[in-house]
């Protein structure tokens, strides 16, 4: 058990306070609190977004669901044709696991456009994802095999559309210099564990400057 040193008074239990009667622990406690006070005095930066920007951003997010429907349908039609390779990947997945499809839209200065597997995304665009789930289970979105939403665990779904992060625009452009990313949504029977036995659907996007 970790000693309660460095915790503020209001976060200490009676047992903690009893422990801190020890003179050595009490002295260490004071030193740790002093370090905490130094952290508390770190200045907050000036500036930042304005209220008008916040309200404008909120307005954009509220308008996005209406556009989603039509664009997602178009993307679905394209993906249905172009993602035949996923059938191979899903071989061996138990019959009880439902089906899932991933759709993507790029949003940029010129508006939005549906993305298909292999499409290029410009540097001034960001990508919005949406999955459609047939059946219940637990879903996760990955980028090159690493979970990006949810970051830990999986989101429970009961079928229907699943929109990562409540439909907020997502920008998944890798900033480590990679120009290609594979995005995949997984539908699993279990809330955690291996992705073996999960059905998936995905697409590859190429990032251009």
Partner 1 sequence: MTLSAPHPHTSAPATDAELVARWMQGEEAAFDALFARHRGPVLGYASRMLQRREEAEEVCLETFARVVEGRYRPGGSFRSFVFTIAHRLCLDRLRRRGRWARVRTLFGGPAPLDPTPEAHALQDERCRRLDAALATLPEGHRSALLLYYKQELSSREVAEILGITDQQLRSQLSYARRRLRETLGPDDGRTP
Which residues here bind partner 1, judged by CB under 8 A?
1-8, 10-11, 32, 34-49, 51, 53-55, 57-58, 61-62, 143, 146-149, 151-152, 165, 168, 172, 174-178
- Shortest Cβ distance from residue 77 to partner 1 (Å)? 29
Q: Which is nearer to partner 1, 87 or 176 (CB)?
A: 176
Identify the CA nearest to 106 among candidates 87, 117, 121, 93: 121
Look-up: residue for tokens 């559309």? 161
- Shortest Cβ distance from residue 36 to partner 1 (Å)? 4
Q: Which is nearer to partner 1, 68 or 97 (CB)?
A: 68
- Shortest Cβ distance from residue 159 to partner 1 (Å)? 24
Look-up: residue for tokens 């059938």? 87
Q: Which is nearer to partner 1, 99 or 206 (CB)?
A: 206
- Under 8 Å CB-to-CB from 170, ≥6 apart: which residues? 126, 127, 128, 129, 149, 164
Q: Before 150, cis peptide (omega within 30)?
A: yes
- Shortest Cβ distance from residue 93 to partner 1 (Å)? 26
For residue 127, the SS3 value is strand
Q: Which is nearer to partner 1, 149 or 154 (CB)?
A: 149
Q: Compute the distance between CA of residue 60 and CA of residue 160 in angstroms, rounded to an integer.
A: 24
């Amino acid at each position: 058990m970790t000693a309660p040193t460095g915790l503020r008074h209001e976060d200490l239990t009676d047992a903690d306070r009893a422990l801190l009667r020890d003179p050595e622990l009490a002295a260490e406690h004071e030193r740790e609190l002093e370090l905490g006070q130094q952290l508390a005095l770190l200045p907050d930066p000036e500036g930042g977004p304005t209220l008008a920007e916040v309200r404008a951003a909120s307005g954009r997010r509220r308008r996005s669901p209406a556009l989603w429907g039509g664009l997602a349908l178009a993307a679905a039609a394209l993906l249905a044709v172009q993602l035949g390779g996923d059938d191979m990947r899903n071989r061996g997945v138990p019959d009880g696991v439902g089906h899932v499809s991933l759709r993507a839209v790029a949003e940029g200065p010129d508006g939005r456009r549906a993305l298909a597997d292999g499409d290029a995304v410009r540097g001034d665009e960001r990508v919005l994802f949406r999955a459609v789930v047939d059946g219940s289970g637990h879903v996760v979105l990955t980028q090159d095999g690493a979970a990006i939403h949810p970051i830990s665990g999986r989101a429970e779904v009961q079928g229907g559309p699943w929109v990562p992060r409540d439909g907020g625009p997502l920008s998944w452009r890798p900033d480590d210099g990679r120009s290609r990313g594979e995005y995949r949504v997984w539908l699993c029977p279990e809330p955690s564990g291996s992705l073996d036995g999960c059905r998936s659907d995905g697409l590859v996007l190429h990032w251009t400057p």
